[in-house]
Chains A and B, each alone.
Chain A
Amino acid sequence: MTDHTQDNEKKAVNFEKRMRDIMTTYYIDAKTARQNHKKVAWITSGGPVEPLIAMDIIPVYPENHGAMIGASKMGVDLCKKAEEMGYSSDLCSYARCDISCATVNGGPIGGLPEPDMLVCCNNICGTVLKWYEVQARYFKVPLFIFDTPIVHTEFTPEIKTYVQRQMEEYVLFLEGVSGRKLDWDRMMEVGRLSVEAQMLWQDILDTTISRPSPLSAFDAFFFLALIVTLRGTRETVDFYQGLRDEMRRRASEGQGAIPRERYRLLWDNLPIWYRLKWLSREFAKHDACLVADTYTSAWCGSLKYVDPKDFLGSAAESYARIYLNQGVDQMAETILSMIDKYGADGIVMHSNRSCKPYSFGQYDIQKIVQRERGIPSLMLEADMCDERSFSEAQVQTRIDAFMEMIRANKGEA
């Protein structure tokens, strides 16, 4: 096979710089919050951030920080440090990185600003509960737990009542800690902007329906940061509008993220942050583009439950019904519909030692995909931040073998 890695790598996106600038400004604001008499809340990636934005409390995401640590290949050192503190190496690497980083202010940005409060929503996992308990003991600040019961098979009236009541308790908690009242008009506006950003994010992810796809999952992993951290702000809406238009333009001009795109793949689970570029190249070598993923789409997947006119009332439901907080069979359904929507020829599953609720059930999903769509799948054993669980040689061999199967499956072998 000819190696056209170089020219087949995605063209530099000038939006990257703009987003880096936004994130840099955001982190500077967060780190200088105390000087500016602003409160800082640490919040989980699936948590309801909108009330924080509406109350001018700066949201800080240890998980986003974890991703940054992973991408800067600083995960192993911080994980080891956590292990020295007594945390098992089998625990989530984001949690290990964050817990140890808080004590040494390490990592790529010299640690996160200290929190005034912690907001933990367990719609993504039970790990965050334990992790935030650790941080609440360490920082001695109030902890709010937004408990979103898993929707195994149905969103029951009992769950609905419980999460709606908690949304009210959450606002009271924020008012108590910040000593200010929530401005409901402002809340409406933030809710509207959040919905708009989520819709734009979905639009951006949907530009990959075009062949060739103007965007790959590797790009989406990067551009995700804003929908996670700053949804509900005008800036995020403006940025994503621009990005969507740019991606639509590229799609209409036939500009692909992988110029010679021949195979379209779906990614499942969190990214392997410390090998993004390497993985992107490995797939590009095979003219394969990762056109969609279950991870970045999770931040707009429950839009259908949001009522823009009653954001807080409906947000409780949409936060309880995100991708990870449902049964494995429901996750498989979502994957099947993504395979159809984006025209995937195969699926790459990251079996992520750090994320049990995301990973257990993948073998069953793999069987369902095989049975229902007859396309090959690849299981990569790794970890999102801890490079010690990654074997480059093994992964490379498996990708090559998988791509052979894809070709055979398409009658090209």
Chain B
Amino acid sequence: MNHLDEYRQAVSESADYARQLKKESGRKIIGYTCSYTPEEVIMAAGAHPMRLFGTKQHISLADSHLQSYCCSVVRGILEEGLSRRVDYLDGMVFPHTCDTMQRLSDIWRMNIPFGFHLDIILPVKLNTASAKDYMIDVLKKFRDDLSRKLNVEISDDDLQKAITTMNAIRRSIRTIYDIRSQHPHLLPGEDLYNIVRASMIMDRVKLAGMLAETAAELQKMVAGAGSVSVKRILLAGGMCNQPDVYTMIEEAGGAIVWDDFCTGARYFTGLTDAGNNPVSSIGERLMNRVVCPAKHTDLDGRAQHIIRLAKEKNAGGVIFLMFKFCDPHAFDYPYLKEYLEKAGIPLLAVEIDDSLPAGGQLQTRLEAFLEMV
């Protein structure tokens, strides 16, 4: 298949990709930390949004700012900044998510000498009229702040174009997910992982075209696909930083048919209305998208969502990838477990620190779980 190498390359060498893009296009690169970032506003400002995910490098600098009980994602992002490996960034935006991200924003602002710094202090509750008004107010403020920092006008027209691009991206990824859900063997899980990650790294306009092609290619493969018997698995958690998990599950006879990650389905679910009031439309999507446990919409929506997904995608079991020290997810886990068990859906939780638990042990656990499914 075309483009798979490009996605993979962009993910594994994201800094090189960013530097190259900056050189070729002259565009400003704006880093971000969370899937609640209104990328459309950054794009409409003529800049390039680039998500930071942490680091695969050894931590040597972040430990003098963050205690041992900080999650590896935040520690990794700070390390990337302190080591200047991301000094191509012209600015960094921090949407409010969890307590740790909140402090990362402060520590970044106080210690990173390159690029501007902006907070987007989103509401935590998403189910009231005043929260919705506040959400839109904050997005308007972000539009003004960014336009000042970059010294550009951000027009409604630019916003509508960005929304159209993002919608195209989200639609194509969804198509890819849908096809793969029916025929998991057509595309290895690791490539799927790379596609979603690359979507937060690569030039969005170019990407929209590439993804449409990838989706079309996959569609063509469906006719001769045949069927393969696999154990169908749903992955859930915060974000996935571990492509190896996909391979391990596949090697154990499983196939990932959907996920609930912010570097996955939570990222592309929900389209934005490109209508007359683009900022409100962006806010509307953020209010209504599948919720991150650091935000509140109701008391058991996440459990209902995961159960619905598992049924819809005909998944035999759910594997939770839990980042150590990720409070919002750790608080939800017991009730999710309870609801899933009640619904008769088997589940397995795997705790991840900066790397996966020792290979052999995890492989054995995955195999045992897949046996059961």
Q: Name A residues whose Cβ lies closer than 8 Å to a Cβ of B.
A: 85-88, 90-92, 95, 122, 125-127, 129-131, 133-134, 136-137, 143, 145, 147, 149-150, 152-153, 156, 158-159, 161-162, 165-166, 169, 327-329, 351, 353, 356-357, 359-364, 381
Q: Is the CB of B99 within 8 A of A162?
A: no
B15 in the interface, Cβ–Cβ < 8 Å? no
A133 to B125, CA, bound (A): 12
B247 CB, min distance to chain A CBs, angstroms: 27
Of chain A, the residue at the smallest CB distance from B98 is A126
Binds A, one of B28-36, B237-245, B323-331: B323-331
Q: Is the CB of A364 within 8 A of B328?
A: no
Of chain A, the residue at the smallest CB distance from B328 is A130
Q: Is the CB of B299 within 8 A of A162?
A: no
Interface string of B324-354 (1 = CB under 8 A from A): 1101101111110100000000000000000
- Starting from the known contacts A125-B99, A357-B99, 6 additional A-B residue pairs (CB-CB under 8 Å) come to A91-B330, A95-B331, A137-B335, A152-B105, A159-B121, A359-B67
A69 to B97, CA, bound (A): 30
CB interface residues, B 277-302, toward A, < 8 Å: 293-294, 296, 299-300
A149 to B100, CA, bound (A): 15
Q: Is the CB of B103 within 8 A of A357?
A: yes
Binds A, one of B130-138, B216-224, B362-370: B130-138
Q: Is the CB of A90 within 8 A of B131?
A: no
Q: Is the CB of A134 within 8 A of B335?
A: yes
Q: Is the CB of A130 within 8 A of B332?
A: yes
Q: Is the CB of B123 within 8 A of A162?
A: yes
A291 CB, min distance to chain B CBs, angstroms: 26
Q: Is the CB of B103 within 8 A of A169?
A: no
Q: Is the CB of B327 within 8 A of A150?
A: no
- From known contacts A152-B119, A162-B131, infer whether A126 and B110 are also in contact, taking CB-CB under 8 Å: no
A32 CB, min distance to chain B CBs, angstroms: 29
A residues near B4, Cβ cutoff 8 Å: none
A residues near B59, Cβ cutoff 8 Å: none
B residues near A147, Cβ cutoff 8 Å: 123-125, 131
CB interface residues, B 19-67, toward A, < 8 Å: 64-67
Q: Is the CB of B110 within 8 A of A328?
A: yes
Q: Is the CB of A356 within 8 A of B110?
A: no
Give the number of A-B contacts (CB < 8 Å): 144
Q: Is the CB of A162 within 8 A of B130?
A: yes
B175 in the interface, Cβ–Cβ < 8 Å? no
B231 in the interface, Cβ–Cβ < 8 Å? no
Q: Is the CB of B124 within 8 A of A360?
A: no
Of chain B, the residue at the smallest CB distance from A156 is B141
Between-chain CB contacts (< 8 Å), 8 pairs: A86-B337, A130-B331, A150-B102, A153-B119, A159-B121, A356-B69, A357-B102, A360-B67
B333 contacts which of A86, A159, A166, A328 (Cβ < 8 Å)? Answer: A86
B106 contacts which of A88, A125, A169, A327 (Cβ < 8 Å)? Answer: A327
Q: Is the CB of B100 within 8 A of A152?
A: no
Q: Is the CB of A361 within 8 A of B124?
A: no
B residues near A92, Cβ cutoff 8 Å: 327
Of chain B, the residue at the smallest CB distance from A91 is B330
Q: Is the CB of A356 within 8 A of B99?
A: yes
A131 contacts which of B130, B322, B331, B335 (Cβ < 8 Å)? Answer: B331
A237 to B335, CA, bound (A): 42
- From known contacts A86-B334, A137-B299, A356-B100, infer whether A126 and B294 are also in contact, taking CB-CB under 8 Å: yes
A residues near B122, Cβ cutoff 8 Å: 149
Q: Is the CB of A137 within 8 A of B300?
A: yes
Q: Is the CB of B106 within 8 A of A133?
A: no
B225 in the interface, Cβ–Cβ < 8 Å? no
CB interface residues, B 65-111, toward A, < 8 Å: 65-67, 69-70, 96, 98-100, 102-107, 109-111
B128 in the interface, Cβ–Cβ < 8 Å? yes
Of chain B, the residue at the smallest CB distance from A157 is B137
Q: Is the CB of B335 within 8 A of A145?
A: no
Q: Is the CB of B327 within 8 A of A130?
A: yes
A152 to B92, CA, bound (A): 15
B residues near A356, Cβ cutoff 8 Å: 69-70, 99-100, 103, 327
Q: Is the CB of A91 within 8 A of B131?
A: no
Of chain B, the residue at the smallest CB distance from A330 is B106
Q: Is the CB of B107 within 8 A of A328?
A: yes
A residues near B330, Cβ cutoff 8 Å: 87-88, 90-91
A residues near B293, Cβ cutoff 8 Å: 130
- From known contacts A136-B299, A162-B130, infer whether A126 and B123 are also in contact, taking CB-CB under 8 Å: no
B residues near A153, Cβ cutoff 8 Å: 109, 119
A residues near B294, Cβ cutoff 8 Å: 126, 129
B171 CB, min distance to chain A CBs, angstroms: 32
A residues near B328, Cβ cutoff 8 Å: 126, 130
- From known contacts A127-B99, A130-B328, A133-B331, infer whether A329 and B121 are also in contact, taking CB-CB under 8 Å: no
A359 to B337, CA, bound (A): 30
A258 to B337, CA, bound (A): 52
B365 CB, min distance to chain A CBs, angstroms: 17
B292 CB, min distance to chain A CBs, angstroms: 11
Q: Is the CB of A134 within 8 A of B331?
A: yes
- From known contacts A130-B328, A328-B103, A353-B69, infer whether A85 and B138 are also in contact, taking CB-CB under 8 Å: no
A274 to B337, CA, bound (A): 33
B75 CB, min distance to chain A CBs, angstroms: 10
B residues near A149, Cβ cutoff 8 Å: 96, 121-124, 134
A85 to B337, CA, bound (A): 10
B residues near A161, Cβ cutoff 8 Å: 133-134, 137
A149 to B105, CA, bound (A): 14
